[in-house]
Structure 1
């Protein structure tokens, strides 16, 4: 279940190029009551972000195909939509929360639901 401090329904844009990983993350978030929008690349996510105003959290992998990786996407989101909470994940790159723009959070793969929900709650707070 999602953290009680996060209003649900809460809209999450999940950006993950591995379809099985994305599907499992979407199921995890939907089961917790979140509204979920999916994108397979940073480029696709950027198009979605420009056309919607209801996204509360960006949950993105770092390494993806295309011209925009997850870290670049998070930087753009921090610049254009500072109200969107940023949570970055990776199984290859190791970051700290301080590496994530705009007081975002890093969650290493493989992750558990509680880690992700906690990161959503803490993202955007210094």
Structure 2
């Protein structure tokens, strides 16, 4: 009998700026996590409703199009899927970061690739 292969955990990148989303995805491809991308909080939530058990890490911008911004997303994730580690980033979050759940980490823009990698690796290690 063969040995079962564990499914690969995912990192979800939520960023409306295509260039920044591609950059974050490229950085996260250096981890053992499968990278999934979303342009909005609503798109991220739709993915999570179907695949939350496979997500270890979310990297999201504060400012997102439509109604659900990165802070709203972090609060919903902390409540519904508390095992998922989150990094929330922004170049100018204003007072929105005051509303982040304690489980989310704030990382100012411009972020360093190494900092994103370390946060993702820590999240993956927690779920392994």
TM-score (norm 2): 0.79
Return the alpha-carbon distance in structure 2 between the equivalents of residues 64 and 51 of structure 1.
Answer: 21
RMSD over aligned CA atoms reads 2.3
| Residues 7-57 of structure 1 deviation map (CA, whole Å, 9 limit, x = unaligned) | xx5421110000010011101111334311100000100100001020001
Q: Could you say which structure has the larger radius of gyration?
A: 2
Q: Counterpart of 2:116?
A: 116
Q: Counterpart of 1:51?
A: 50
User: How far off is 1:94 after superposition?
Assistant: 5.9
Q: Counterpart of 2:18?
A: 19
Q: Give structure 1 stretches of 5+ with no counterpart.
A: 1-8
Return the alpha-carbon distance in structure 1 between the equivalents of residues 94 and 109 of structure 2.
Answer: 10
Return the alpha-carbon distance in structure 2 between the equivalents of residues 114 and 101 of structure 1.
Answer: 23
Q: Runs of 4 or more off by more than 6 Å in structure 1?
A: none
Which is bigger in relative contact order (C-alpha 8 A, separation at least 6)?
A: 2
Q: Give structure 2 stretches of 5+ with no counterpart.
A: 1-7, 124-128
Q: Counterpart of 1:5?
A: none
| Residues 78-120 of structure 1 deviation map (CA, whole Å, 9 limit, x = unaligned) | 000000001100011167x885314221111111121113334
- Once the two structures are overlaid, the 10-residue window that deviates more, 14-23 or 105-114, is 105-114
Q: Counterpart of 1:80?
A: 80
Pick the structure with more helix per residue: 2
Return the alpha-carbon distance in structure 2 between the equivalents of residues 33 and 71 of structure 1.
Answer: 26
